[in-house]
Structure 1
Amino acid sequence: MSIKCHLYWCALSSKTAEEKKKKWLACVDHIQNFHENCSHPPITRDKQWLLPGTDVNVKVVDLLTKTMFVNDVQKMSHHGQTSGVEAYHSIVNHFVPKMYTFSYKGMCSRVRLAAMHYNENAGRGQKVTNEGVSCYSIAYPKYKNGGYSLKKVMVEATYGYVNDCFSEAVKLAQNPKKHRTDVIRVEDPPFLTAALSKPDKESVIAEHCARFCDNYM
């Protein structure tokens, strides 16, 4: 877990590829309790370090310093990670569950609702107590086999876009259809199989029977 956190830190705290490489290679000394090249304050808590020269240490160092892996570290983005995209996809799955079938217009409407919900709540702040203390929660994912993850407790989500949608729907309903020039008419696209040629049923049956007879002979 410490190595994973160090990997993220190298990406987010560096601007150039050389800086990412330098910080990443400092991890090799850090895991052996050598901190001359580290930029962190003195470590006061007890930790288990890898002993230099042991088989475990040699294998870990070999993995961390592989040329291909170090080159990948230098290419990591320092602007941000994919967590925002993953969060948006999670919201889309909530509005458009994959176990149900929707029409094309229903699909478009639900995806747009998911986008509006994400845009309104993506920048939520962390929840604080009356004393001004930040709130956290502890989660126990199954893949960690009893391990835990500390998560920030965010403020409650808001749904202001719902009122905007209702207001727009009422406005459109009050106007006659012939005056709705600003409403885009969306037509369902053809199925993907529409561009393919469909064979004649009798020809398919004849071909199947002929193939069966040839295999039988």
Structure 2
Amino acid sequence: MDLKTNKIVDTQLVQKNEVKNSYAMELDGLKRGLAKLQEEQIAISHLITDRYSQIKKYMRETHPNIAHWFDCWHIAKGIYKKLEAIGKKKKCEVVGQWARSITYWCAMSSGGNGELVVQKWCSILNHACNVHEGHGPLFPKCEHGDVENSVWIKQGTKAYQELEKVVNGRLLMVDIKKISPVEQTSGVEAFHNVFCHFAPKLLHFFHAQMDARSKYQPCISMKIQIDSRQPIRTVNQFTQYRQPKNRRGDGIAKEVKVKQTFDYIDELFEDLLLSREVNGSVVHVRQVIDVDEQARPLPLTRTGLCLNKQDIIDAHRSRFNK
């Protein structure tokens, strides 16, 4: 997806038996996507993904000319879960109160300067202890004004030690320098959410059907239309908010957006009628399908060892058999 225009540039469908295991599917999809864009002579300057270890190594060794950034939301989500778990430990409850406040504003305000991001991130340990100066040469003191009374963490306590382990994590300190300062992958996540309406995960689809559903343009149009909805504003041009509750019961603020439309359904019918006019012969359609099927991977059910049904029945042993 081009994150500036919110448009899908390319989609790739990878089946498990095309790679050595399911862990390699995401990397293989990225390789295919980059190769496709290179064939179309589309230059890539920046790529934003999550912290997938195989992708990090591949981009570092194979595409050093592409600036590889990490999505803030994925990292913040992982950090929040760790801090929330620490807050449930004895004598560490205060860490749980800080979990939601520790966010990645440091990446957005650093303009891509990795060292500045690190110093701002490490300043969390001082700030949580009510120390707001002496963070580093690039970030000597906090940028906030007067701080109201808060629940501070005392240095040397168990809560501080647990927080320090998370903040100074070895892999996190390496990856935090490459957090994307501007664009994020939220648009891709929204597209995947919409795509699940066309291909629910609870239903099985063969490769051809899944491929058709993943590339169908109305699905993409629906995603862009949902993403571009504007918030509802009052007479005084103030944004309206609603207050749903999260899973912990805390109140959160969300923008109230204009009601979405479903014009893509008309596009579905128009494309259906057009395909019927172009492919008037069922024989011609079958010939095209047969050619496409030859290039598709075998279904997963045909790649395993085929056993005789009677042998399986004979080998079955029930716990109730005497």
Residue 173 of structure 1 deviates from its aligned partner by 4.2
The unaligned stretches of length 5 or more in structure 1 are 210-217
What is the 5 A alignment of 1:41-190? 41-43=144-146, 45-102=148-205, 106-111=209-214, 112=216, 113-142=218-247, 144=248, 146-174=249-277, 177=280, 185-187=288-290, 188=293, 189=296, 190=298
> Could you tell me the TM-score, scaled by structure 1's length?
0.69
CA spacing shift, 1:103–1:2, aligned 2, 3 Å: same
Residue 177 of structure 1 deviates from its aligned partner by 1.9
Separation in 2 of the partners of 1:120 and 1:55? Answer: 49
Residue 50 of structure 1 deviates from its aligned partner by 1.8
Find the counterpart in structure 2 of residue 27 from structure 1: 124
**CA displacement 1:66-123 (0-9 Å, x = unmatched):** 4443223223333434433332222222332223345655544543343331133223
Is 1:9 aligned to 2:105, yes or no? yes
Find the counterpart in structure 1 of residue 3 from structure 2: none
Q: How many residues align?
A: 202
Separation in 2 of the partners of 1:89 and 1:67? Answer: 31
The unaligned stretches of length 5 or more in structure 2 are 1-96, 134-139, 316-322
Name the SS for the 1:48 alignment partner: coil
Separation in 2 of the partners of 1:197 and 1:123? Answer: 49
CA spacing shift, 1:4–1:82, aligned 2, 3 Å: farther
CA spacing shift, 1:191–1:174, aligned 2, 3 Å: closer
CA spacing shift, 1:59–1:45, aligned 2, 3 Å: same
CA spacing shift, 1:192–1:67, aligned 2, 3 Å: closer
CA spacing shift, 1:35–1:177, aligned 2, 3 Å: same
Name the SS for the 2:195 alignment partner: helix
Separation in 2 of the partners of 1:176 and 1:110? Answer: 19
Separation in 1 of the partners of 2:150 and 2:161? Answer: 19
Find the counterpart in structure 2 of residue 213 from structure 1: none
CA spacing shift, 1:10–1:201, aligned 2, 3 Å: same
Separation in 1 of the partners of 2:304 and 2:153? Answer: 62
The 8 Å contact of residues 207 and 299 in structure 2, kept in 1 or not, is answered as no
> Could you tell me the TM-score, scaled by structure 2's length?
0.50
CA spacing shift, 1:2–1:135, aligned 2, 3 Å: farther
Higher relative contact order (CA 8 A, sep 6+): 2
Separation in 2 of the partners of 1:199 and 1:50? Answer: 62
Residue 138 of structure 1 deviates from its aligned partner by 2.0
The 8 Å contact of residues 3 and 27 in structure 1, kept in 2 or not, is answered as no
**CA displacement 1:108-167 (0-9 Å, x = unmatched):** 45433433311332233322223311122222222x2x2233222233223333333333
Separation in 2 of the partners of 1:58 and 1:22? Answer: 19
Separation in 2 of the partners of 1:39 and 1:186? Answer: 63
Name the SS for the 2:143 alignment partner: coil
CA spacing shift, 1:121–1:104, aligned 2, 3 Å: same
Separation in 2 of the partners of 1:8 and 1:186? Answer: 49
Which one is further off, 64-73 or 13-22?
Answer: 64-73
Separation in 2 of the partners of 1:162 and 1:172? Answer: 15
- Structure with greater Cα Rg: 1
Residue 38 of structure 1 deviates from its aligned partner by 4.2
Separation in 2 of the partners of 1:149 and 1:4? Answer: 12
CA spacing shift, 1:147–1:161, aligned 2, 3 Å: same
Query: Over aligned residues, Cα RMSD in angstroms?
Result: 3.7
Name the SS for the 2:254 alignment partner: strand
